């Protein structure tokens, strides 16, 4: 079964975190929501999220992808976590998928993962990282790197992840189930 790690940092964007987790689970992808520290995560707007496990425990598993929700200061906490940046570099070097939305693409930029890659992020985030290859699209995929612009594009981001990991048919199935009344 396909497994995706969604790291959750204090101050993450709750809409992005929950949407990624929800849509991937609808696609029957095993999602591990892991807190950078023990206990509940308080997201950027005060919503409390209970991770499946702490990151330290989650790092004992193998993943097909790591998908980073954005938000501030959540993205800054992700970028400062050496365990996570080490995992992201390893995933990228082994040709496995990494993804980030909103402010989180700066984590990929700081790790060198976006070097020579097209990417998108919340306006100003990648410019601040001096990343020249900004697409401006809602979702950008360059090889095994998938980035997305904001909370407003996170459903498209999650669907792009499903397509990358399981194909168009799986994406279409999940997407069509969201349109039903």
Token digits of residue 59? 């790092």
**CA quadruple 54, 26, 122, 151: dihedral sign:** negative
**What is the distance, to the nearest Å, from the Cα of residue 74 to the centroid of all Cα atoms in its chain?**
12
Check: CB of residue 147 under 8 Å from CB of residue 131: no
Asked if 144 is an active-site residue, the reply is no
Q: Which is catalytic among the residues 34, 102, 146, 161?
A: 102
CB atoms within 10 A of CB 59: 17
Q: How far apart are CA 101 and CA 14, in angstroms?
A: 12
Q: How far apart are CA 73 and CA 76, in angstroms?
A: 5
Residues marked as catalytic:
102
């Amino acid at each position: 079964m396909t497994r995706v790690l969604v790291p959750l940092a204090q101050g993450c964007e709750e809409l992005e975190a929950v949407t990624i987790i929800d849509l991937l689970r609808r696609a029957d992808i095993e999602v591990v929501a892991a807190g950078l520290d023990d206990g509940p995560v308080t997201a950027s707007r005060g919503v409390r999220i209970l991770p499946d496990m702490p990151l330290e425990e989650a790092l004992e598993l193998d993943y097909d992808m790591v998908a980073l929700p954005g938000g501030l200061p959540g993205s800054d906490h992700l970028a400062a976590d050496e365990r996570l940046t080490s995992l992201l570099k390893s995933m990228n070097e082994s040709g496995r998928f990494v993804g980030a939305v909103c402010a989180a693409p700066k984590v990929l930029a700081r790790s060198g993962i976006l070097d020579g890659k097209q990417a998108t992020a919340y306006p100003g985030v990648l410019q601040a990282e001096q990343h020249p290859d900004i697409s401006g699209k809602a979702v950008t995929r360059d090889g095994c790197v998938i980035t997305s612009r904001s909370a407003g594009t996170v459903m498209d981001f999650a669907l792009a992840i499903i397509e990358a990991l399981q194909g168009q048919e799986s994406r279409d199935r999940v997407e069509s189930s969201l349109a039903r009344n």
